[in-house]
Structure 1
Amino acid sequence: MTKAELLKEFDKLQKEKEIHIEGIHCNSNKSTIKNAIECLKCPDELLEKYLMVVSLKYENIGRTIAENGDFKRHSFNRLYVFNTARQILAN
């Protein structure tokens, strides 16, 4: 898949879910765009579990994200929780 195709899919998913993820642009590398697409495809129930994983490891960060509103719709927190939890679980 080309970078242009990945960006089209990313934009389509953002519009479908009505979520904007910051930091993903045409100058992002392919792996970053693929990761953001995976994050958008991730079900909200799984993201809730990911927040629990982050909260257990990093209590203050988890609390701050939970108090900041719906992190699943936040332009930065959704991707942060997704990536951090997967990193924790990989170890």
Structure 2
Amino acid sequence: MKKTELMKEFQELEEEKQVHIDGIAWNSKKSEIQNAIECLKCPDELLEKYLIVLSLKYEKIGRLIAGNGDFKHHSHNRLYVFNTARQILAD
């Protein structure tokens, strides 16, 4: 897939989910854009479970993210929870 196609899909998903993910732009690597697309496609129910996984490993961070409001619509926390939980589960 070309980078322009990835960015188009990313932008459409951002509009559909009404979420902006910081750090993803035209100068981002294709792998970063693909990861952000996977994050946006991830169901909210699974993200809730990912937050539980993150909270079990990093209690203070999990509490902070949960206390900041709806992390699923936060520009940084959604991607952070998604990536961190997947890394924890991979180990």
TM-score interval for Structure 1 and Structure 2 normalised by the shorter chain = over 0.9
Deviation at 1:56, TM superposition (A): 0.2
Aligned to 1:69: 69
- Partner Cα distance (2:7, 2:78) in 1: 18
Please state whether the residue corresponding to 1:10 is helix, strand or coil: helix
Asked if 1:88 is matched to 2:88, the reply is: yes
Residue deviations 1:59-91, cap 9 Å, x none?
A: 000000000000000000000000000000000
Give the aligned partner of residue 53 of structure 1: 53
User: Which residue does 1:29 correspond to in 2?
Assistant: 29
Distance in 1 (CA, whole Å) between partners of 2:30 and 2:40 is: 15
Give, as a single letter, the amino acid of the residue that structure 2 aligns with 1:47. L
Query: Which amino acid is the alignment partner of residue 9 of structure 2?
Result: E
Aligned residues: 91
What percent identity do the matched residue pairs reach?
75
Give the gaps of 5 or more residues in structure 1.
none
Q: TM-score, normalised by structure 2?
A: 0.99
